[in-house]
A and B are shown apart, each in its own frame.
Chain A
Amino acid sequence: MLAVVPSATLHGLDGRSIRVEVDVAPGLPGFTVVGLGDTAVHEARERVRGAIRNAGFVFPPRRITVNLAPAELRKTGASLDLAIALGILLGSEQVRASGDPIGLIGELGLDGDVRSVPGILPMVAAIATRRIRRVVVAASAVEEARLVEGVEVLGVASLAEAAQAVRGNRRHRAVVAMPRVTITGPVVPARPDRETPVLAPLNAVPDLAEVRGQSEARRALEIAVAGGHGLMLSGPPGVGKTLLARTIPSLLPALDDAAALAVSIVASAAGEGPITELRRRPPFRSPHHTLSYAAMVGGGTALAPGEVTRAHHGILFLDELAEFDRDVLEALRQPLEEGRVVIARAGRVMTFPAKFQLIAAMNPCPCGFAGTVPESRCRCTPGEVERYGRRVSGPLRDRIDLWVTMPRMPATMLVAANDPEDSGTVAARIVIARERAALDRDRVNGRLRGRHLRRACRLSGEASRRATELAEAELASGRGTERLLRVARTIADLAGSAAVEVPHLEESAHYRPQVARNATALAS
C-alpha cells in the first residue's frame, strides 16, 4: 500500500518541502530509498529499521520503496527519518491516519527517540507554504517551530508518540503557533512589535568602562557601531584591541523584526541549538584565524552557511587579521560590497545573505611591538613591517572605513585618568544617531555609496571644498573619498547635525588607513 507523508529538508538557509512516498509491496523483503539523498539520507534506512522495531512495531518483511520527491532536488541530513518511518507504518497499515495531512520533521534514534535537527524554523515554514497546518517535531524544537504563524505544532519524544499524533489521538496537546512569522510567499514577520524590544544585559560581554584610556579607539568604535562601518584596530599585544572589540555587543541596538527573523533562520539552519524566540541580539562572530575558506564563506557537502552568513545583521570580528589566509580574506570582498555571498559548487549555486559589519584587529608588525617605547623592543626590519601591513590587500583596505592605532598607555593614564564612560551611555548616543540616520536614509551609513551618499551628506560649499582638499591631500581613490564622506556622515549624526560640516570632515580624515597616513608623513 502507498503512503504519502509531507516533510522537509534544509537547502542552504531555505527549507524545502519534500513528499515522502512509501510503497510497501509484496515481494522479496528489501528497503530502497531513491531521490538524490546524501549519505545521511541513505543511512536513514538503518535508523528507521531499528527505531520501528524498538518502538514496538514490526518492520514489514516486504519490498519497501521510498521515493523522495521532487526527485531532482538533492536532499541532505536526517530530517526525513521520522517521515520515512511513519510512511512505512502507514503503508504496512500498522497506523491509520485520520484528519488532515500532517508534516513530520525529525531524526530517529535506534531506540525510537525523536531528535531535533538544524533548520526547524525554515523547514516548518516551507511545509506551511504547502497549506499543511499541523506539524510534528521533536519536543525540544517546539518553541522554534511555533515561531511560524498558522501552524499547529505537536512536540513528540518518540516514534510511538508521533504515531499517536498521526492517528489523531490528541493525548499530546498540540501547541498553537505564536503568530510571529507569516508564511504567505517569502518568509516575513507577521507584524511589527508595538514596543521597542529591549535586550537583557549580558554577563559574558565586557563593558566599555573596563577599557581605560584609548580615547581615539573608543571614539572610532562609537562611530563604527553608530554607522555600521568597518573598523581596523591596530596596536601591539596587550593594549586592549580584543577587549574593546568584545564590548560591541553591549553597544548594539536590538534588531527589528525582519532582521531578527533573518538572524533566527541562519541560527536555526546552522544548528545553533534550540531557538525559543526571535533572536533580537545581533550575532557577534569571532572565528579563529586558522579557519578555512569554506568555513568563512560557507559550503561543504551540505552547503552550510559560513561565518560571513552567521554574522548576518551583526558583527564579524577578525582578530589578528594579517594571520588569516589571503584567500579567506579576499573572499570577504563580495559580501562586504554586496551584502551576500554566492557559492557555486558543481551543479549548484547558492546565495546566502551576509550583511555583516567587519571589525578587525592586527599587530603593526610580525613581532607586534613596532612603535612601542622603548623602541628596541621591536626586532622587525622596516621591510618586514611594510610586508606585514600589505597582507591586507588594497581592495580589502578600501572597504574598511575607520583605522586607528592603539598605543600602549602610560601607567599614569591607566591609574589616574577619570572613569571612562560605560557601555550604556555610549549605546544611548548610538541609538539616537541611528534614529537620526533612519529619518532620511534607508540603509546604514557604512553601506552608503554613490548618489545616496552625496544626497545624505548635504555638503555646503565650504564643506565641499574642504572635502576635496582632504581627499587630494591623501591622494584618495574614489573609494577613499567616499570613505571620508561616509564616516563624516556618521560623525554628523552623532553630533546631531543634519548636514556634514567642516569639523566632521576633518575628524573623519583622521581615521584614514595607516598606509595613507604614512604616505602623507612621507617618511616611515
Chain B
Amino acid sequence: MIGIGTRTAIDRSSTPSGAADAVRDPYAPERDAWAVLAAVRGLGPIGFAALLMHFGSARAVVATAAEPGGADRLAATPPIDATHRSQPILDGIAAAIVSTAEERDRIVARLRALEIRVLTVEEPAYPARLANVAMPPHVLYVRGDVGSLSRPRAVAVVGTRRATGPGRTTSGRIATALVAADATVVSGLAFGIDGAAHEATVRAGGVTVAVIGGGHATLGPSSHVRLAEAILASGGAIVSELAPDTEPSKGTFPRRNRIISGLSDATVVVEAPARSGALITASWALEQGRGCFLVPGSIDSHASAGCLAFLREWSQASHLVAGIPQLIADLGFTDPAPDKDARLSGAAIQDLGEAESAVARALVAGLATVDELVARTDFPVATVLAALTMLDRRGLAIGAYGRYRPSGSLLGELHTFREDSLRKTRGPVARAGQPMLP
C-alpha cells in the first residue's frame, strides 16, 4: 500500500498545478492551497480570513507567495474591518507563508501518501454541525468516510483515560444503545472511556468518529492503532484539525475537545475525575448550545468526582444520565426499531454452543474470574477457557487482567438477564448485592 501511495505522490508532484485532479474535481487545486496555508505556523483564523478576503482564494495567496516580492504583498494585506489590528499578516508570518508555499508539492504529496482527505470549511461536505460553532477549524484532515461526519444523529461519548471497569462497561453500553438508535458515536481515541466507546461501536457494527489531538502521522496511543484501523474499516472516520506531522501537546487536546462536541448533537461524559479533560468537552458542548449529559457515580468514587461537581455547578444546563433508555429518550432518539436489538442479541446467544452460552450467561450475571465461571457453570476449566476464546472472537466477551466482562450485544443483555441469573446463582460466589464486575 505504501508503494502505491508513494508512486501516486510522485505522479502528482510531477504535475505541480494539479491539472490531473482538476479534470475530476475542479475544487482540488483550491483545497490543496488551503492545506498549504493550514500548514503555516502562526497563521491564525483572523489572518487567514483577511488573506481570503483580499486575494479572493487560497490559490491566489499561494501564487502570490511564489512571486518575487510576494512576502511584501502578503504583509500588505488590509484587515477585514476596522475592529481588527491594522496589519493582520505580520512580516514574520508572511515569510512563513512564502517558505511553506515553496514546500507545496511536498505537503500535498504527504497528504496523499497518508490517504488524508482535506475538508475546507467552505466545502459542502464540511460537517454542518461543526460549521455552526464559533470559529470552526477552517481545515479538517479526515481519514476514512467523510460522510460519517454528517450523519443525521451524532453523540459524543467521552471520559477519563483512567476509567474503572464499570465505567468502561457503561461507556460500551451507551455506545451500543446509540448504535441501535442509528447515531454516530464521536470520541477521542484515548485510553479508558473513549476507547471503550469506540470499541463497542465497532463491535456492534456502528459508525464511530475519532477526533485526535495530534496530526494523523503521530496517531496515538500506539496500542490504539489497531482500534483506529477497525474504526476506518467499519465506515467511520478519524479527524484532526492539525497538519499530519504535528505532535500532540498539552494545548492541542483542549482545542480538539471543541471539535468532539461540535461534531455532535450532544456530549455524554461517562466518568471524569476532578479537572478531567472530558469536562472541557462538556463545557464546550454547553457553549455550543449542544446537549450535555453526565453519568453520575458514587460520591466516594474518585473517577466520578468531576461529573458530580459539574452536575452540581451546571445543574440548570446539564442533564443527568439515570439510565440508558432514558438517555436515548432524552436525546430525542426514539428507538427506530425497538425489536431490532433484542432480536440481534437473542440470536447471538442462541447461536452459541452449550458451554459458550452457559459462560455467556454467567458473564452477564457478573461473574468475572475463571474460577467463578467454573463454579457457576460446572464445566471443566479447559472448556470454560475454550468458550471464552470463542465468545471473545464473536465480540461478546473481553478479558483483561484475568477478569472477564460482557461486550457487544451481550451488554444489551445485562438488564434482561442480571436479575434472573442472580436469583438462580447458587453458593456464596455471587451473592446478590455484591458487585462482581470489575
Interface residue ranges of A365-418 to B (CB < 8 Å)? 370-376, 381-383, 386, 404-407, 409-410, 412-413, 416-417
Q: Are B223 and A519 in contact (CB under 8 A)?
A: yes
**Which of A213, A519, A522 contacts B371 (CB under 8 A)?**
A213
User: Closest B-chain residue to A407, C-beta based?
Assistant: B402
**A364, A410, A503, A518: which contacts B383 (Cβ < 8 A)?**
A503
A509 adjacent to chain B (CB < 8 Å) = yes
Nearest chain-A residue to B203 (Cβ)?
Answer: A522
What separation, in Å, do the CA atoms of A159 and B71 have in the docked complex? Answer: 99
Residue in B192, B226, B369, B429 whose beta carbon sits within 8 Å of that of A522 in the complex:
B226
Quick check: A386 and B389 within 8 Å, CB to CB? no
Chain B: minimal CB distance from A169 (Å): 68
| B199 on the A face (CB < 8 A) | yes
Of A370, A406, A506, A522, which contacts B390 at CB under 8 A? A506
Cβ contact within 8 Å between B371 and A370: no
Do residues A216 and B195 form an inter-chain contact, with CB atoms below 8 A?
no
Asked whether A407 lies within 8 Å of B369 as measured between CB atoms, the reply is yes
Contact with B along A492-524 (1 / 0, CB 8 A): 000100000001001101110000011111111
Q: Is the CB of A375 within 8 A of B371?
A: no
Verify if B56 is at the interface (C-beta below 8 Å from A): no
* A216 & B400 in contact (Cβ 8 Å cutoff): no
Q: Is B68 an interface residue (CB 8 A)?
A: no
B46 within 8 A of A: no
**Residues of chain A within 8 A of B401, CB atoms compared:** 235, 364, 370-372, 405, 407
Q: Closest B residue to A503 by CB, please name it.
A: B386
Encode contact with A along B376-401: 1 for CB under 8 Å, 0 otherwise: 00000111011111101100001111
Contact (Cβ within 8 A) A507 B400:
no
Give which listed residue, B223, B375, B385, B428, contacts A510 with CB less than 8 A: B385
CB neighbors of B among A171-221 (8 A): 213-216, 218-219
CB pair A522–B385 under 8 Å, yes or no, is: no
- Asked whether B221 is an interface residue with its Cβ less than 8 Å from the other chain, the reply is yes
Tell me which residues across on chain A come within 8 A of B400, comparing CB atoms: 371, 405, 517-518, 521, 524
Residue B259, interface by CB 8 Å? no
A473 interface residue per 8 A CB criterion: yes
Q: Give the residues in chain A near B403, CB-CB below 8 Å.
A: 371, 407
From known contacts A518-B223, A524-B191, A524-B195, infer whether A382 and B162 are also in contact, taking CB-CB under 8 Å: yes
* B residues less than 8 Å from A376 (CB atoms): 164, 302-303
Q: Is B50 an interface residue (CB 8 A)?
A: no
Contact A214 B227 (CB under 8 A): no
Q: How far is the CA of A376 from the CA of B164 in the complex (A)?
A: 8
Contact (A473, B438) CB under 8 Å given A382-B162, A491-B382: no
Within the complex, the shortest CB–CB distance from B186 to chain A, in Å, comes to 15
The reply on B198 being an interface residue by CB < 8 A is yes
Chain B interface residue bracket vs A: 35 or more
In the complex, the answer to whether A521 meets B393 with C-beta atoms within 8 Å is no
Given A216-B402, A519-B226, A523-B198; A412-B438 close (CB under 8 Å): no
Closest beta carbon of chain A to B223's beta carbon, Å? 5
A215–B384 CA distance with the chains assembled, in angstroms: 10
When C-beta atoms are compared, the residue in chain A nearest to B302 turns out to be: A376
B191: nearest residue on chain A (CB-CB)? A382
Q: How many residues of A contact B (CB 8 A)?
A: 48
Main secondary structure of the interface of B (DSSP, over half): helix
Cβ distance B23 to chain A, nearest Cβ, rounded Å: 39
In Å, the complex CA distance between A325 and B428 comes to 44
Assembly CA distance A409 to B165 (angstroms): 17
The reply on B316 being an interface residue by CB < 8 A is no
Within 8 Å CB of A374, what residues of B?
164
Question: How many A-B Cβ pairs are below 8 Å?
Answer: 136
Given contacts A409-B369, A413-B371, A416-B428, contact A522 B195 (CB under 8 A): yes
Q: Is A296 an interface residue (CB 8 A)?
A: no
| Chain B 292-341 residues near chain A, CB threshold 8 A | 302-303
Residues of A within 8 A of B199 (CB): 521-523
A329 contacts B by Cβ under 8 Å: no
Interface residues of A in 401-440 (CB under 8 A from B): 404-407, 409-410, 412-413, 416-417
Query: Closest CB of chain B to A53's CB: distance in Å?
Result: 69
Enumerate chain A residues within 8 angstroms of B369, measured Cβ to Cβ.
213, 216, 407, 409-410, 413
Which residues on B sit within 8 Å (CB–CB) of A258?
none
Q: Considering the complex, which residues of chain B in the window 202-243 have a beta carbon less than 8 Å from any beta carbon of chain A?
A: 202, 221-224, 226-227, 230
Instruction: For A524, give the chain B residue with the smallest CB separation.
Output: B223
Complex formed: what's the CA distance from A105 to B400 in Å? 59
The answer to the question of A453 belonging to the interface, with a C-beta cut-off of 8 Å to chain B, is no
What is the CB-to-nearest-CB distance from A121 to chain B, in angstroms, rounded to a whole number?
A: 43
Within 8 A of B (CB), among A440-494: 469-470, 473, 491
Bound: A304/B57 CA distance, A: 77
- What's the minimum C-beta distance from A5 to chain B, rounded to whole angstroms? 63
- Chain A contacts for B382, CB-based, 8 A: 219, 491, 495, 503, 507
Cβ contact within 8 Å between A404 and B389: no
CB of B30 within 8 Å of the partner chain: no
User: Within the complex, which residue of A383, A404, A507, A518 is in contact with B402, where a contact is CB–CB below 8 Å?
Assistant: A404
Q: Which residues of B contact A511 (CB under 8 A)?
A: 385
Q: How far is the CB of A273 from chain B (nearest CB, A)?
A: 40
A470 pairs with B162, CB closer than 8 A:
no
Q: Check A417–B371 contact: CB distance below 8 A.
A: yes
- Pairwise interchain contact B389-A510, C-beta atoms closer than 8 A: yes
B303: A residues at CB distance < 8 A: 375-376
Does B427 touch A at the CB level, under 8 Å?
A: yes
Contact, CB under 8 Å: A216 / B223: no
B374–A215 CB distance below 8 A: yes
The smallest beta-carbon distance between B351 and chain A, in angstroms, is: 16
Per the bound structure, the CA–CA distance linking A503 and B52 in Å amounts to 66
Nearest residue (CB) in B for A383 is B221
A386 to B390 Cα, complex, angstroms: 26
Residues of B within 8 A of A404 (CB): 402
A521 touches B402 (CB 8 A): no
A383 to B429, CA, bound (A): 34
Task: A491 to B380: give the CA distance in the assembly, Å.
Answer: 13
Q: Are B398 and A521 touching (Cβ within 8 A)?
A: yes
B31 within 8 A of A: no
In this complex, what residue of A is CB-closest to B372? A413
Contacts of B428 on A, CB cut-off 8 Å? Answer: 412, 416
Give the one of A370, A469, A521 with max B CB within 10 A: A521
Residues of A within 8 A of B375 (CB): 413, 417
Contact of B399 among A409, A506, A521 (CB under 8 A): A521
For residues 216 through 238 of chain A, which have their beta carbon under 8 Å from a beta carbon of chain B? 216, 218-219, 235
* Chain B residues whose C-beta falls within 8 Å of the C-beta of A522 in the assembled complex: 195, 198-199, 202, 224, 226-227, 230
Decide if B222 touches A386 in the complex (CB within 8 Å): yes
A507–B226 CB distance below 8 A: no
- The CA of A522 and the CA of B438, in the complex, are separated in Å by 18
**Is B381 a contact partner of A219 (Cβ separation < 8 A)?**
yes
| Docked pose: A470 CA to B195 CA in angstroms | 24
Q: Across the interface, which residues of B come within 8 angstroms of A518, CB to CB?
A: 223, 400
**List of A residues within 8 angstroms of B383 by Cβ:** 503, 507
* A378 to B, closest residue via Cβ: B162
Max chain A C-beta neighbours (<10 A), residue from B230, B375, B401, B427? B401
Q: CB < 8 Å: which of B224, B371, B399 contacts A517?
A: B399
B381 contacts A373, C-beta separation under 8 Å: no
Asked if B361 CB lies within 8 Å of chain A CBs, one says: no
Contact status B164-A375, CB under 8 Å:
yes
Contact of B35 with A by CB under 8 A: no
- Give A491 to B221 CA distance when docked, in angstroms: 36
The 10 closest A-B pairs by CB, nearest first: A371-B401, A523-B195, A407-B402, A405-B402, A506-B386, A216-B370, A523-B199, A382-B191, A507-B386, A510-B385
17 chain-A/chain-B pairs, Cβ below 8 angstroms = A214-B371, A216-B402, A364-B401, A371-B438, A407-B369, A410-B372, A413-B375, A416-B427, A417-B371, A417-B375, A506-B390, A507-B382, A517-B400, A518-B223, A520-B392, A521-B398, A523-B191
A-binding residues in B (CB < 8 A): 161-162, 164-165, 191-192, 194-196, 198-199, 202, 221-224, 226-227, 230, 302-303, 368-372, 374-375, 381-383, 385-390, 392-393, 398-403, 427-429, 431, 438
